[in-house]
Structure 1
């Protein structure tokens, strides 16, 4: 089980990513539309930990606008180990600095993120599928690439732990 600090995207870009999720589902690839009763939203994750207390996160991030209106431009598709397919935004200095700032505040408050979310290791991404079947990987990537570019603006943020049914918006 994991919990995360997620930044959500504007309605137009979210709709485009949800269309991609639907296309992957039609192909036979489970997208983020399916797990956890469809509660996932298109997002970029800033931090992931085994567990996060949403009130402690809000306290650690007091005074920080996690959902600051960052512009994000998804320009490529990629695959992490385990055939996790994602859309990748350009790692702008603003996006990278924002993630490092949030990570630093959480770490200072004793909430250690998983190593892949450490500044310098973090790869900004929006996951579209957690495990693409090997025979469908090429076609899934093609569909992702055909959906690009997607320009987005961050509009909201939350602490999400779908396994524990936690969803707590943060400013």
Structure 2
């Protein structure tokens, strides 16, 4: 199971990403749109097997998570395990914001996976967790069709969809 601190995107970017999900689904490629039926397009700042949303809220206090950030998605990529994603340009503002969030989480005793920590994190918007290997090239081509994509962060939450947790921050 995965819990994450997710940044949510403006209406236009969300619409474009959902359209991408639907087109991939029509081609037989599963996306976050069909996983749990609860996902919405997002960029995760932190993730772990479990995250206590109240501990995160306490650790972050009045820190404006994601507010004022603009995210530019300019490339597609994949992680080992057939994970397909849109890459977010790692701007100084985004990396500084990410670092501040993690400093507060660490001070509050909130544990996250190492690969989401500053210096290791790859900013991305996940499209699919399990693209069939023979379909990866066509899935990447479909992703490239909607790029570049600029998004404004409109909200944040701690989400654990498998356990019906969505705690706005």
**TM-score, structure 2 length as denominator?**
0.98
How many residue pairs match? The answer is 169
Which runs of structure 2 are paired with 1:129-144 in the superposition (5 Å)? 129-144=128-143
Task: Tell me how far apart the structure 1 counterparts of residues 49 and 109 of structure 2 sit (CA, whole Å).
Answer: 13
- Structure 2 residue 10 is matched with structure 1 residue 21: no
Task: Give me the whole-angstrom Cα distance separating, in 1, the residues matched to 2:17 and 2:146.
Answer: 8
What corresponds to 2:156 in structure 1? Answer: 157
Q: Given that residues 3 and 162 in structure 1 are in contact (C-alpha distance below 8 angstroms), is that contact kept between their aligned partners in structure 2?
A: yes
SS of aligned partner of 2:78: strand
Shift of 1:147: 0.9
**Contact in 2 for aligned 1:46/1:99 (Cα 8 Å):** yes
Q: Which residue of 2 aligns with 1:31?
A: 31
Match of 2:10 in 1: 10
Deviation (angstroms), 1:118? 1.1
Query: Is contact 2:31–2:128 with CA below 8 Å preserved after alignment?
Result: yes
- Unpaired runs of at least 5, structure 2: none
> Which runs of structure 1 show a deviation greater than 2 angstroms over 4 or more consecutive aligned residues?
none
Equivalent residue, structure 2, for 1:48: 47
- C-alpha distance in 1, partners of 2:66/2:98? 11
The alignment's C-alpha RMSD in Å is 0.8
